[in-house]
Structure 1
């Protein structure tokens, strides 16, 4: 990577327009550097929630302190290059501004290979980590109905599903280049995508399960910062792992205890490890940054995370061993009749669901979904939605802290 060249491109892009930012000072924008090429963009969340309601900002001694809005990371910052492209000033990635009609997975690669958008020829299909860098959890959805998108629409267009042909509004998934190393549903070849209408990562079948025709989804090209999404883990030998690419330090092992969302926040805020007390529950984008999409329980006999980390092994709802927990984040997912009652989690094991009476991996290891924040532990697991998503509610915790300079 020629970092000097990359920065010149960013600087040039910024100088050719009005330098509009995402409601933030330009001083808050943090460019990636050669020693931290994987700068994670904040989720944009500034509101505070209990397990059921919007609340005022809690103090450090109150319940629900330590959630997403308690900590401000690299605030979203974009530049419109006025040539059909948008620069993310935090990641150094340059994006196609407008998506066209839905296309197949193969067509997405052909389009990128042949594109000269903005005068550049090095466009590519984004990885799932690159694509997820654009998500903002200021979005809101109610079941199948879009209310506010999970992407900044001042800079990016975001089509809905075509309801005139029977699609739902939320049928607006965007392809990534990341293929699932295992399969979902009925042994379907699967590709991960982000849904910026309903705020989730899922694995989507590459081909229609009945007709075997190639599925179509939306697609947004990217270029620049080819080191984005590549971790640089160091085992510190003291129960912690540093990711030098992101500047984050992680708890090496979960403590083997499942908790609801409030309990997880309390645990993270009270953790002392490596003589540090500034541990916290990661936000959704921080936790997704340590998913290893080259792994899955069925193909590598491991969770989707670097083997430097330890994950508690659990049994699935049918008592089958060899499964791994969902892990809470401090990010709320505004969905449903009560939009404040769900919290985002990342599945490092299979994203299971029960369909037609059969328990299966429906979304893939590395998916991002949400669970109710609270409930009676004896009532779970349950199954919810058209894919019968498993709900545990009492999920696991892996804490994070920011490495101080």
Structure 2
């Protein structure tokens, strides 16, 4: 592609693509009579909703999901996934690439439908989200690329979103009193998409309470401070292991549909049974009690 006189355009990585996300977005049901707002700043970027499927705003990234196959197909090792962001409904998930997990190209004779995604090209390079970690030897880790300080350990227990906010507010880790929940872009910066095993974080610097990731009960979802625009009663989370879903609400088998590094949302409080809605399409595992990894801003000249 040549655009603006440049011929070095490429597909962005998922971290580059997610940097465009604007969480003032909100997808409205057509019958509401209200206008939807996409999860991208339309003062700068053109955006059009799909006229048939208003929620179909998936854009490809170049970040292939390397940890395992997606969904629950078995042929040729299952389906290969690549991460994308949906600018209509504000989520990261993995989408079919058109290949099986072993690299074999899917053919028409395989009887599988690969719907495809849109593309927004990018050029240039950025050092943001390079994950340049420093272990501060006080149970904190600093990422030089983002100037953020993180807790080395996770919360050690799961909690709802309201409890997570309180947990962050009350923390005095390493003598600092300004810990907070990270927003969704900050937390996603920690995801190691190239690591081939779980969890999707650099375990040379960060400790994880969970060591086994076998089922939805082991969901390693981490709260962010970001409210999901479509459903204000939900908060966005980042999955650092499998992102569990099932074919529809009547199905009983959960599988890794969205991939480690996906961004979804969970109800902030309550019980899963309060939110299990009938669905003929993918139905995410509802956790509500999720993990926390604290963050704080680290000024150039820092004082406790």
Per the shorter chain, which TM-score range?
0.7 to 0.9
Is residue 327–residue 397 contact of structure 1 (8 Å, CA) maintained in 2?
A: yes
Return closer, same or farther for 1:398/1:364 CA change in 2, 3 Å cut-off. Answer: same
Is residue 96–residue 116 contact of structure 2 (8 Å, CA) maintained in 1?
A: no
Shift of 1:382: 5.9
Shift of 1:384: 7.2
Structure 2 distance, partners of 1:144, 1:367, is 27
- Equivalent residue of 1:176, what SS? strand
| Corresponding residue number in structure 1 for 2:103 | none
User: What are the superposed Cα offsets for residues 189-215 of structure 1, whole Å, 9 maximum, x if unpaired?
Assistant: 101000011000010111398634654
| Corresponding residue number in structure 1 for 2:43 | 154
- Equivalent residue of 2:12, what SS? coil
RMSD of aligned residue pairs (Cα, Å)? 2.5
| Corresponding residue number in structure 2 for 1:354 | 246
User: Tell me, which stretches of 5 or more residues in structure 2 are unaligned?
Assistant: 100-105
Match of residue 304, structure 1, among 187, 190, 200? 200
Structure 2 distance, partners of 1:189, 1:346, is 20
User: Larger deviation: 349-358 or 362-371?
Assistant: 349-358
| Corresponding residue number in structure 1 for 2:295 | 400
| Corresponding residue number in structure 2 for 1:252 | 152
Is residue 381–residue 390 contact of structure 1 (8 Å, CA) maintained in 2?
A: no
Match of residue 134, structure 1, among 11, 17, 20? 20
Shift of 1:116: 2.2
Is residue 382–residue 392 contact of structure 1 (8 Å, CA) maintained in 2?
A: no
| Corresponding residue number in structure 2 for 1:370 | 265
Structure 2 distance, partners of 1:276, 1:391, is 33
Return closer, same or farther for 1:305/1:178 CA change in 2, 3 Å cut-off. Answer: same
Shift of 1:234: 1.1
Return closer, same or farther for 1:180/1:272 CA change in 2, 3 Å cut-off. Answer: same
- Equivalent residue of 1:140, what SS? coil
Instruction: Work out whether 1:204 is the aligned partner of 2:95.
Output: yes
User: What are the superposed Cα offsets for residues 289-345 of structure 1, whole Å, 9 maximum, x if unpaired?
Assistant: 1111113xxx42x2111112122217779687xx4510000110022xxx3201000
Summarize the alignment of residues 58-137 of structure 1 with structure 2, pairs less than 5 Å apart.
Answer: 115-137=1-23
- Equivalent residue of 1:216, what SS? coil
Shift of 1:162: 3.8
Return closer, same or farther for 1:292/1:319 CA change in 2, 3 Å cut-off. Answer: closer
Structure 2 distance, partners of 1:270, 1:216, is 45
User: Tell me, which stretches of 5 or more residues in structure 1 are unaligned?
Assistant: 1-114
User: Larger deviation: 168-177 or 228-237?
Assistant: 228-237
User: What are the superposed Cα offsets for residues 246-269 of structure 1, whole Å, 9 maximum, x if unpaired?
Assistant: 000101111211111111001001
Return closer, same or farther for 1:120/1:190 CA change in 2, 3 Å cut-off. Answer: same
- Equivalent residue of 2:175, what SS? coil
